[in-house]
Amino acid sequence: MRHFYSLNEFSTEQVAEFVDSALAFKENPSSDVLERRQIALLFLNQSLRTRCSFEVATRELGGDVSTLDAETLFTLETEFGKRMDGASAEHVKEATGVLSRYFSALGLRSFASGEDQQADLLDTTFTTFLEHAKIPVFNMESALYHPCQALADLMTIRELFQELPGRKVTITWANHPRALPMAVANSALLAMTKMGMHVTLAHPESFDLQEGIMNMAGSFAGESGGSVKVVHDRLEAAEDADVIYAKSWGSLLRYEDPAAEQELRDGLKDWVVDSEMMSRTRRAYFMHCLPVRRNVVVTDEVIDSNRSVVLQEAENRLHAQKAILEWIFS
């Protein structure tokens, strides 16, 4: 039984094989790899691209799919030994056991809570499902990782440059009215350093990614011949970049003092990807996982330019999902 939790668990060669597989599915979209397979997609948070791409991918691979969301489920409990006399009506252990008897595999989306730092660091919701599932579980974004997005990002960069090692990518923090999870930024940074790219991580002070993620990125870069550095000036970060990858995330301060974190973000509205930032690059492509807030994260001029590949990147989610599903059942 194969679970798909994070690209961290795979070698550089294996990740490259995933990218090759996704590119092959883009050329030849149909297969019978999921014939007579029933796939469940469980969304504890909102989704557009992930939901639609996995539904289409499952059907084009010959399988059937059922999509469940938080509004149609009982409130789930993840803790053990707790008296369930509050909002939670069903424990993850029973819910996972039931789904394991109905379906061939389970996709799960469970964002970081933004309230319980320890639970988010341990990816408690996702790992509890993993612990009790009797079928493969694949990660459609958890508190820590979004490997499906990272795989589509690698595929997109490969299409643009024909190879991954040596590319210069700037992952830049961007302003947002909400403190968003770090999963996309975590996975992008780790995937790119694993594949030998030179990554500049740009963010204001106090918006550091978690120490464990940064240490892992440094280790991956050392093994692959890539590099990673952190800068706190968005224009400096853009110098000579091949790709500008924008993403918003909340400061770790959100766990201690949400009001102070909000005030901090409110003072950083100049952290937007604009023409001035793009002019510092080597005619870089602009990437973003979507959804994106125009003229907050990126200006209209940039996202509507011919250097923006956000729709290509989003389309590639479909092909990347197929590569993941094929691997699970191969």
Point out the residues of the chain with pLDDT beneath 50.
none
Residues of the chain with CATH 3.40.50.1370: 7-145+317-328, 147-314
Q: Which pLDDT value is given to residue 153?
A: 98
Strand bridging mode 243-247 / 168-173: parallel
- pLDDT at residue 82 in the model: 87
Predicted local distance difference test score (pLDDT) of residue 169:
98
Residue 167 φ/ψ region, left for φ over 0, alpha for ψ in the -120 to 50 degree band, beta for the rest: beta
CATH code of the domain made up of 147-314: 3.40.50.1370
Tell me what pLDDT residue 81 has: 85
260, 231 Cβ separation under 8 angstroms:
no
pLDDT at 148: 98
| pLDDT for residue 50 | 98
Whether the CB-CB separation of 157 and 243 falls below 8 Å is answered with yes
- pLDDT at residue number 116: 94
CATH number of 7-145+317-328: 3.40.50.1370
**What's the confidence (pLDDT) of residue 265?**
96
User: Alpha carbon of 42 to those of 71, 126, 322: distances in Å?
Assistant: 11, 11, 17
162-175: string of b/e by CB count within 10 Å (b at 16+)?
eebeebbbbbbbbb
